[in-house]
Structure 1
Amino acid sequence: MCVAPRAAGDAAAAAAADVYVVTSGGRRRIPAHSSVLASASPVLESILQRRLKRDMDGGGKAGTGRAVVRIRGVTDDAAAAFVRLLYAGSSGGEAVAAAAAEIDEKSAVQMLVLAHAYRVPWLKRRCEETVGSRLTAESAVDAMQLAGLCDAPELHLRCTRLLAKEFKAVEKTEAWRFLQDNDPWLELDILRRLHDAGLRRRKWRRKRAEQRVYVELSEAMDCLRHICTEGCTEVGPVGRPPAAAPCPAYATACRGLQLLIRHFSLCHRTSCPRCQRMWQLLRLHAALCDLPDGQCNTPLCMQFRREEEEREKAKAKAGDDDDKWELLVKKVKVARAMFSLGKRRQMSSSHCQC
């Protein structure tokens, strides 16, 4: 039975074809053009060149008959669809989109195998997207095996994400039990990847939590300068009453810092945790303060600066560079810079919208 490819046009175009594509069962012979097949796939180009050379070495003349290319391992319908997609790929544009829309969930697996075997990159990407967009807990294990066989990294990544997200559901599937019984190495590889992904997630969460702490410390430094320079509701600079109206950060940071300052001024205990926290905030402010000497209204700023300078000199003499406090100061500086950059971007975008 001869079936002309849709992209070939009418019967005249089919008659001009010089290649037969024969399916696994041999029941279907698809007329095609060697120029189209060769331009679409380097593997098919190599096969056709070998067939032509063999015919010439055998004493025949080129073009006296139709070469035969066999596509094995897939159904007849999949082979015919593959040939149509090769013709669509040679046309490009809307023909590719229309042909790719015909790829359903069942044929996408066979198309992916053929696209990998015959090295058709654009079709391989389309099939990866189709299979990956319809992944379920039932199909994730089979799709991961397919991704490994066909060297499909995008599909492999999607399978790994689904396994990490719904591993309990995957464990209950027949495919996972079959994998445990027949391919323990792949099972071990999957479990190792899930373990590594879990470690990365925990590390990322810990890093995000640390970043939040540095941002909060940066905001506390701004509130401390604001309170000691302008005053806010309960606490104000020396010789000036506090401002009556609360600032924008009053509810989130400023009020709590004012309460801590009032406690610090009244507490007389030697080992008070709240006072120790205030000492650390004042020391951090002194490390970040860039105002000239005598112009900062924050209490103990100059004293902490001098102590820090003496500490630096002592460390330079001792050759000790490992200081957790310096690392904290650097990270808060970075957080302040990133926070101020984000504010500037927000302001510029709001001005652009206006």
Structure 2
Amino acid sequence: MASPVMKKMLKQSKNRGRRNSISIRGVPHDAVRVFLRLLYSSRYEEEEMNQYAMHLLVLFHAFGIPSLKNLCIQKLEKGLLTLENAVDVFQLARLCDAPRLCLLCNRMIVDNFPAVSNTEGWKVMKQSNPFLETELLESVVEADSRKKERMKKMEERKIYLQLHEAMEALVHICRDGCRTIGPHDKQLKQSVAPCSFPACRGLESLIRHFAACKKRVSGGCTHCRRMWQLFELHSRLCGENSNGCKVPLCGHFKEKAAHEQSKKKDAVRWKLLVSKVLEARTLCS
């Protein structure tokens, strides 16, 4: 017999002098019929399997038939699992030792919590198993926190990538020249195609402002302070010697960095920023 549990039950029934039969309660009659057909012939109708997959999962688990239990699990995983039955299947998966199915249900519930929380299955579970409700709510909160953390990291990475692009554009402008701005010994061609450096246009405007602004000497201009910071960031990333680099103030900031041991906090902050920009460059390359 395929089921050792059923074999034992029949043997016990016979030893007690009763008819050689057992009772299967708690599931629909037709589900038991499909169960017996699968048990003895390994055949089933697709429509019946779709209708009774959850009942069959319980039966095959209870009667110790792992191969047919796995068949039910596969059917649920590959199409029968829905938002409407996710909570019910989740509870069955926990009871029937189906960890993968349990994980899939958990993900579906967490990812679609507003919809799942309005289903009848959730409402029944909320009344009958408040501890499970608490567990699922905690999973939802944790998932939301992880999502926010991922979004925060993505935004940070975006900023560092923009800084990396600004550094590339700054070197491009100061070394090669762009359409309307560049070193004095370069002949600019305003008629050429748009610049391939994404940050070039915005940086061009910032450099023009920096060159003409009268407040920058006293440090009273926000745009100029931003330009100073970009110059300093470049110097921290620049691998050329002070005389070889075409970017203004590169040597000045390199010399400043060499003598800033007394300001360890600033040094650590700049070092961290440089590492993040380099990391963003590596990820986008």
Correspondence for 2:144: 198
Letter in 2 for 1:112: L
Correspondence for 1:6: none
Q: Any idea what the Cα deviations from partners look like across 1:61-105, whole Å, max 9, x if unmatched? A: xxxxxxx89694554323224315xx75xxxxxxxxx86967732
Correspondence for 1:334: 279
Correspondence for 1:91: none
Correspondence for 1:302: 251
Q: Distance in 1 between matches of 2:45 and 2:142?
A: 36
Q: Distance in 2 between matches of 1:194 and 1:139?
A: 18
- Cα shift at 1:126: 4.0
Correspondence for 1:80: 36
Q: Distance in 2 between matches of 1:276 and 1:241?
A: 29
The 1:99–1:292 alpha-carbon spacing in structure 2 relative to 1, beyond 3 Å, is farther
Q: Distance in 2 between matches of 1:224 and 1:204?
A: 30
Residues 79-98 of structure 1 mapped to structure 2, 5 A cutoff: 79-84=35-40
Structure 1 unaligned residues grouped into runs of 5+: 1-18, 20-36, 38-42, 59-67, 89-97, 341-354
Correspondence for 2:54: 109
Q: Distance in 2 between matches of 1:253 and 1:163?
A: 42
Correspondence for 1:345: none
TM-score by length of 2: 0.80
- Cα shift at 1:217: 1.1
Letter in 1 for 2:97: D
Letter in 1 for 2:250: C
Contact 1:230 1:243 (8 Å CA) reproduced: no
Secondary structure of the 2:199 match is helix
Letter in 1 for 2:106: T
Letter in 2 for 1:107: Y
Q: Distance in 1 between matches of 2:258 and 2:69?
A: 63
Correspondence for 2:240: 291
- Cα shift at 1:300: 0.8
Letter in 2 for 1:303: H
Correspondence for 1:64: none
Correspondence for 1:164: 110
Letter in 1 for 2:104: R
Letter in 1 for 2:36: A
Q: Distance in 2 between matches of 1:71 and 1:302?
A: 90
- Cα shift at 1:111: 3.1
Q: Distance in 2 between matches of 1:125 and 1:206?
A: 40
Tell me if 1:230 matches 2:176.
yes
Contact 1:230 1:242 (8 Å CA) reproduced: no
- How many residues align structurally? 270
Measured on the aligned residues, the alpha-carbon RMSD in Å equals: 3.3
The 1:119–1:225 alpha-carbon spacing in structure 2 relative to 1, beyond 3 Å, is farther
The 1:227–1:79 alpha-carbon spacing in structure 2 relative to 1, beyond 3 Å, is same
TM-score by length of 1: 0.66
Q: Identify which of structures 1 and 2 has the higher relative contact order when contacts are C-alpha pairs closer than 8 Å and 6+ apart.
A: 2
Contact 1:179 1:187 (8 Å CA) reproduced: yes
1:249 aligned to which of 173, 191, 196: 196
The 1:298–1:124 alpha-carbon spacing in structure 2 relative to 1, beyond 3 Å, is farther
Letter in 1 for 2:273: L
Q: Distance in 2 between matches of 1:100 and 1:296?
A: 77
Q: Any idea what the Cα deviations from partners look like across 1:299-338, whole Å, max 9, x if unmatched? A: 1111111111222x336xx7x6982322111011111122
Structure 2 unaligned residues grouped into runs of 5+: none
Provide the identity percentage: 35
Q: Distance in 2 between matches of 1:222 and 1:136?
A: 50
Contact 2:113 2:140 (8 Å CA) reproduced: no
The 1:302–1:211 alpha-carbon spacing in structure 2 relative to 1, beyond 3 Å, is same
- Cα shift at 1:180: 2.3
Q: Distance in 2 between matches of 1:322 and 1:151?
A: 55
Correspondence for 2:204: 258
